[in-house]
Structure 1
């Protein structure tokens, strides 16, 4: 047993320290690359970084910041730091010159410490960035100074306003000063993929699981809702997301979970008549693509009522929030949600 524990300990240390070494190596490699990049820029051009690496709903919510920073620094070379799994959200953004797919927060910490960037806009807040492998957290001094953390960030406004404040782009507790409607930049390849799915119109997209259990609605009520929709309305019901936990037998139901990229999912949502979902990444795609949203929301942690969206969802011009004051999402009854959906769809 002692030998087994010894092997486990040193295997863990090997993976940890080889990870840290790689992070430092990549940081200095990219420092050299950016140094060469700066040498090729004109005198009036700055090298600017924007840092919002996850989650994909947050990245979409922060998209207007890319346009705002571009308006402030029209000649700059702007680099957006993002986790590799979310790079497609940045790759096609015309306001961003370069997508930086981050290896881990240690790499970023070392790279930023070199001072290679003329300006850095960190859209992270306290306790919001951590690498499990090297056990390193990176804090944002602006967020620290302003007291913005994962425990209270929704006290500072919607996600866009919070990120802009954390990046020191706007004063504390102020509205975003530019166009606050998020968008995604869909390409022909995404449209062609969705063309090939043969989706029958009209259809309703549903998203039934978030990445945070307190935001979820129970699976048995989702099944009830989907069967009721199938019985009462002439819509195909299309489920999207990473995976499904539903057992639906309705003939008009189709499960696309785990089959699409983020932007292919956005194209599916864009073509839908409605989106019924949770406070999660796909609802931000609904906001960005202009599809009317019915968003199940409840009390979250210490927030009895909150609004994470900017743009048309945030103003509830193109969305309705299905919620009851003081209740969590899981406490919303089937009858209540059905009634709110029925108000939108009609009889």
Structure 2
């Protein structure tokens, strides 16, 4: 072993084990906190944990579970576990008493192993209960017993139904038994931020890149679509997301990528006349905001056809799925997508 590789090895180990040590310490600190919380509860009140830490579209899709659990346990102290970057999605949810901003799954495991919670509702399965720094996977025994995993989960229903099953809230492959339309908890600060953008209405919101390449549609086809929209409609075209990969020069196009928080983005979508995007986080914001969606979807891994949504998008009362069975999204032709959009948005 060379000196350089020796240093790299021990540097990696130092950061890994420092991270693990911090995770355990934070887990025990959280235990003391929740022990104090539990000590203040009245007799018969439960301390309940709901775990859905990521991704933000999944958290939005799972939101009806917070209201359903509250209906089952009206007096409980309900805690939602979430990664800090997504905490705004549950911060103002009246069905949640407390947010636990999770450091990593090792911290969570340390906390839950103390048995401080009377009930733990896991809306995740083994494959997405992972900390890459600790190199630790945490199992969900309910999901394991029901054989729900990342390779087959859409065989069990939409995301809300899948999460309700992994949380042992509903029987296998059952429909969700309560209001299944996800809600957003927008605040005045989000409205003020979008007001400051001075967006020209009416406008169409586009989301052109997901966090998973097989769900994407090529940039050059998006550019064609933007130009076609600009040539044929009177809408402003607003792109949202983390970053744009488009090369667009039309004056009616505006790029807001990377400039907004999740809920500020949701407020932009809420004000739009239409949302055109991919199967990704922002499409769940569109579903929750009530804006009509045109969703480009293809076959995904082992799912030639699937439906991730509940509510108005799930029933397709407030959305159109643009797809051809067996084709990935990238292989949808521009003409096919254009014609689907034209069938939704009337030409002037």
Same fold (TM over 0.5): yes
Structure 1 match to 2:76? 76
SS of match in other structure, 1:184: coil
Residue 338 of structure 1 corresponds to: 338
Is 1:87 matched with 2:87? yes
1:47 alignment partner in structure 2: 47
Whether 2:105 is the aligned partner of 1:105: answer yes
Q: Distance in 2 between matches of 1:269 and 1:242?
A: 15
Compute the displacement of 1:5 (Å): 1.0
CA contact (8 A) 2:277 2:295 kept: yes
CA distance in 1: counterparts of 2:190 and 2:44, whole angstroms:
37
Conservation of the 8 A alpha-carbon contact between 2:207 and 2:276: yes
TM-score (norm 2): 0.99
2-side partners of 1:214 and 1:31: how far apart? 40
User: C-alpha displacement at 1:346, in angstroms?
Assistant: 2.0
Instruction: State the match for 2:223 in structure 1.
Output: 223
Q: CA separation in 1, counterparts of 2:25 and 2:279?
A: 38
The answer to whether the Cα contact below 8 Å between 2:299 and 2:328 also exists between their aligned partners in 1 is: yes
2:116 matched residue in structure 1: 116
Alignment of structure 1 residues 155-194 onto 2, 5 Å: 155-194=155-194
List structure 1 runs of 4+ shifted beyond 2 angstroms: none
1:242-261 alignment, distance < 5 Å: 242-261=242-261
**2:205 corresponds to:** 205
Cα distance in 2 between the residues matched to 1:49 and 1:146 = 21
CA contact (8 A) 1:209 1:241 kept: yes
Indicate conservation of the 8 Å contact 1:126/1:148, yes or no.
no
Deviates more, 1:213-222 or 1:126-135: 126-135
TM-score normalised to the size of structure 1? 0.99
- Give 1:144's aligned residue: 144
**Any idea what the Cα deviations from partners look like across 1:235-286, whole Å, max 9, x if unmatched?**
0000000000001001000000000000000000000000000000000000
Question: Structure 2 CA distance, aligned partners of 1:199 and 1:242?
Answer: 19
Segment of structure 1 superposing worse, 198-207 or 119-128:
119-128
The number of equivalent residue pairs is 347
Q: Give how far 1:102 is off.
A: 0.3
Q: Are residues 1:36 and 2:36 paired?
A: yes
Deviation, 1:126, is 2.9
Q: Distance in 2 between matches of 1:80 and 1:250?
A: 44
RMSD of equivalent CA atoms? 0.6
Structure 2 residue runs of 5 or longer lacking an equivalent are none
Q: Deviations over 1:22-66 (max 9, x none)?
A: 000000000001001100111121100000000000000000000
> Unpaired runs of 5+ in structure 1?
none
Is the Cα–Cα contact under 8 Å of residues 126 and 137 in structure 2 kept in the other structure?
no
Deviations 1:166-193 (A, max 9, x none): 0000000100000000010100000000
Per-residue deviation, 1:2: 1.1
Shift of residue 3, structure 1, vs aligned partner: 1.1
Is contact 2:53–2:81 with CA below 8 Å preserved after alignment? Answer: yes
